[in-house]
Amino acid sequence: MLEELHRSLKLKSPQYIFTICVLTPVIAIYTIIRIIPIGGTIFLGFHKWDLINPAKPFIGLRNYIKLVHDELFIIAIRNTFILALLSIVISLGIALGLALILNRRKMRFAPVYELIYFLPFIISWVPLAVIWKWMYDPTYGILNYVIGLVGMRPQGWLVNPKLSLYSIIILVVWRNLGLATVLFSVGLKNIPAEYFDAAIVDGASGFKLFRDIIFPLLKPITLYLFVMSTILNFAIFSPVYVMTIGSQGAPGNAVRVLVYDLYENGFRYLHMGYAAAEATLLLLIVLVLTLVEFRSMRYEV
Amino acid sequence: MRLETKRVFGMTKELLIHIFLILIAITMIFPFFWMFCTALKPSTEVLSWPPVILPQHPTLENFIAVFTKWPFARFFFNSILITSVATFCILLTSSAAGYVFAKIKFFGRDLIFYIILATAIIPIQSYLIMLYLIIVKFQWINTYQGILAPLIIMSFGIFFLRQNIYAIPDESIDAARIDGASEFFIYFRIILPMTGSALAALGIYAFSVTWAQFIWPLVVVNTKEMYTTELGLAMFQKRFTVEYGAISAATAVCMVPALIMFIVFRRGIVRGVTLTGIKG
């Protein structure tokens, strides 16, 4: 018995040596760049600290209480919710429609359309935001020229605080539309053709077909897209940052989002503890959303 | 006769659908086209009203300005260095750890794996502050290793390659073990060659994710020489706000790597994204 264990250990020891060689650096680096930063941010959220002062008093939940009364933070949270929800609902809605059209029988050029729609998604945020900022220019921007052609008055897309958040939402929808379309397309292609045939033989109309067959079968992918885009949109920063800097930019408060507020508090005003509390809130939102996804995925299986 | 009307009706419908799809395609492409045209215009043409889309007197002066006014060549060097090293490290750590998690049984394996997997979803924005403070402790502010540190391991990569290596039959690995092959030999000679396409997909993904990093370089870099292209473009745009010709040229230059990848891998990228999900 003991000998057997000994032999199996001996046989396995090269595997363990390899495991230790691989996992030691991976776990060490992972701890330093992920685990400690995440834990440390939560910890710092309960402290008051300005980066320079050696004193770092524990203040319990006071950062969080202050946040609730912070006007800028409230604006940021409100804007983040509007941006996340609107851009998700609009882009998923249009994408579902496009995917349904592109997956009709005998649809020609569908792969070409998909490829073109996907193009903005492969480009990173900064160049995209810079391009749109130029199109949004109130005096020379092409967008005002285009809407002028159909008789609309020129708009201050970014400089008008009433419009600026929606201008950023347009950019977000424009970028993510192709991704959602492609993912919905994949979902639709995975629905066996017999389902459609059976339903059509039964005399189901287009709408019934959609409600009873297509939509239930697309639910997992819709939920996945919804959760992933919510997380990405709640953490959005670079397009907002690019859209606000410089003299042609949007007024900071009109488009202030959660991470932008966090960045300003932390790295501009050096309110490290306060910003850490905001970061912890972001973490909580992300965790809750992930749990929602896991929970409902378990129901599906 | 009735059949004929039905056919005409069907064709009109078909035509309308394509017109709609083409309009959306134009919406997707036009901003890029407009930017490239602006980049080729002399400054007098850029701010003409009503705007003329195609450049009347195309010039490369904007592209020259990009590289003379602002060290974009250096930004490119920085970005390519950082993305290459990060991609290499991600591929190495993901495949080695993926192999361990898929094929070697030991106590606590699944726990470690799930901890890594669980943190995959957490965006860098939510631990940025403490990460910054740690890099300050290391005195790595404004250095390549400082920018690189959080980018060299990707939890998603470990997960993705574990799934792929898991699918490799145990027999081929066991046979090699019985023949006396070392684990390093198995990893380099059996596992890596058999995960080629997964490594390629992860490589493309890791490259684009690293290239697109913005908020991290923004906080960790404080001199122009260390800017990445993304950061350089944002700052260029801040510095030369209304010089849209030069800004457009800079944008065009910054998009070149992503566009090359898109053209080379086309369908592969679309398929890859649907396989790997949309993290990043």
- pLDDT tens per residue across span A22-63: 999 999 999 999 999 999 999 999 999 888 877 888 988 999
Task: Please tell me which residue of chain B has the smallest CA distance to A274.
Answer: B129
Is there a domain that residue B224 lies in?
Answer: yes
**8 Å CB contact of B126 and A245:** no
CB B123 to CB A142 under 8 A? no
pLDDT of residue B270: 65
Residue type, A66: K
Distance of alpha carbon A46 from alpha carbon A276, whole angstroms: 8
* Within a domain: B83: yes
- Three-state SS string over B191-247 comes to HHHHCHHHHHHHHHHHHHHHHCCCHHHHHHCCCHHHCCHHHHHHHHHHHCCCCHHHH
Decide if B277 touches A, using CB distance below 8 A: yes
Chain A: residue whose CA lies nearest to B32 = A131
* Same domain? B142 vs B222: yes
Contacts of B32 in chain A (CB under 8 A): 119, 131
Tell me which fold the domain A62-300 belongs to: MetI-like fold (1.10.3720)
Q: Structural domain tally of chain B?
A: 2
Whose tokens are 């019934």? That residue is: A208
Q: A284 and A67 in contact (C-beta within 8 Å)?
A: no
Domain that holds residue B96: 71-239
Smallest Cβ–Cβ distance between A38 and the set B20, B127, B237 belongs to B127
B16 and B113 part of one domain: no
A26 and B152 within 8 Å at the Cβ level: the answer is: no
Mean of all residue pLDDT scores within chain A:
87
Selected residue of B129, B213, B248 to mutate for chain A interface (largest A Cβ count, 10 A): B129
Domain ranges of chain A: 1-44, 62-300
Do B197 and B99 belong to one domain? yes
Mutate to test the interface with B, among A8, A9, A23 (most CBs of B within 10 A): A23
C-beta separation of B30 from B22 below 8 A = no
Give the phi and the psi of residue A82 in degrees, each rounded to 5. Answer: -60, -50
Residue B72: which of B279, B240, B191 has the closest Cα?
Answer: B240
Nearest to B215 among A32, A123, A238 (CB): A238
Which 42-101 residues of chain B touch chain A by CB within 8 A?
Answer: 46-47, 49-51, 53, 93, 96-97, 99-100
Same domain, B142 and B218: yes
- Nearest CA-CA partner of A274 in A286, A264, A288, A285: A264
Tokens 């706000």, residue?
B241
Q: Does the CB of B32 have a partner CB in chain A at under 8 Å?
A: yes
Q: Are residues B41 and B110 in the same domain?
A: no
**For residue A175, which phi and psi values (nearest 5 degrees)?**
-70, -40
Q: Does residue B222 sit at the A interface (CB-CB below 8 Å)? A: no
Query: Between chains, do B270 and A27 touch, taking CB under 8 Å as contact?
Result: no
State whether B200 and B220 are in the same domain.
yes
* B273 located within any domain: no
H-only helix segments in A235-271: 238-244, 258-263
Both B101 and B208 in one domain: the answer is yes
B218, two tokens: 């923004």
CB under 8 Å to B3, separation ≥6 — which residues?
none
* B157 & B19 share domain: no
Look at B129 and A266 and tell me if their CB atoms are within 8 Å. yes
B228: Cβ contacts below 8 Å, ≥ 6 apart: B75, B78, B79, B82, B147, B213, B217, B221
B117 with B160, same domain: the answer is yes
Q: What is the pLDDT along chain B (280 residues), one digit of tens a residue?
A: 566 777 888 888 889 999 999 999 999 999 999 999 999 999 888 888 788 888 888 889 999 988 998 899 999 999 999 999 999 999 999 999 999 999 988 888 999 999 998 888 899 999 999 999 999 999 999 999 999 999 999 999 999 999 999 988 888 888 888 888 888 899 998 899 989 888 988 998 899 899 999 999 999 999 999 999 999 999 998 888 778 899 999 999 999 888 888 888 776 666 666 555 444 3
- Name the 3-class secondary structure at B151: helix
CB contacts < 8 A (A, B): 259
User: Same domain for B76 and B185?
Assistant: yes
Residue B265 lies in a domain: no
* Min distance B163 CA to chain A CA atoms (Å): 17
User: Do both B155 and B201 map to the same domain?
Assistant: yes
Distance of residue A54 Cα from the nearest chain B Cα, in angstroms: 14
Interface test mutation site (partner B, options A22, A108, A117, A263, max chain B beta carbons within 10 A): A22
Binary contact (B153, A121; C-beta < 8 A): no
| Residue A79 · residue A257 · CB < 8 Å | yes
B149 Cα distance to chain centroid: 17
Residues B39, B131 within the same domain: no
